[in-house]
Structure 1
């Protein structure tokens, strides 16, 4: 785990011992993508806030539509190469906190689960008001690891809800 962020607690105990060596490679790949999305959302939120008119806080201001277009395009550049099935979807918002700001929280925990050489599951547990979790299923294709699916849920529950990277 020498390349993963120091703050994150990584648990590989649910992985077969023969696959535990993949944890660093897969988690680093995923965290790098999530951090790029976090940085983009943070930048766009700050630029959007600067465009706001305090006298008309709920009105679209000049430059906001272009900012949304830029956000969508730049986000695709990050997510498309990392996704097994790239879509036009993804996050349709940015704000504070960002979608993946939890990576900087001291109590964030990462579970690495791998039982076959071509599929891994990374669950990230965090708390922001409520205890939540994100699940990323990664699969290996000819170009390396890709995010196949993303889901979210709440700690203490077994139910997962579909989401997008």
Structure 2
């Protein structure tokens, strides 16, 4: 499957991918810390934190550590939780604490063949901040992460 990144508006970034797993299974992979730990991030880093308080106002925090000890950690708060269809949350790169957070709308839509179309629409504080993230390698990282999620879903199988 192809992970598609588009920039339909000045501050917007849309990532779409179809997974060969039912909506409930993809939702669980995205919202249960033990499952997130299995696929999150890029393979050359170690996921060391996956915290999820899945409720409106609840916080989340996911992070990886490199071989030299450098940390890449993202965190935010849930603004809307509609299981297993939609998550709305803020996202902040902790290594840039003064940066304004990104707002993300994540939808989990069933496909006709029993899979899930996952769409992540992020709204960035500025066009420049979005473009800087893309220029820094975000696209390759997102593609690898979604490939890892697909692999995890294939290995873990089964409903819901």
TM norm structure 2:
0.30
Greater strand content: 2
Greater helix content: 1
TM norm structure 1:
0.30
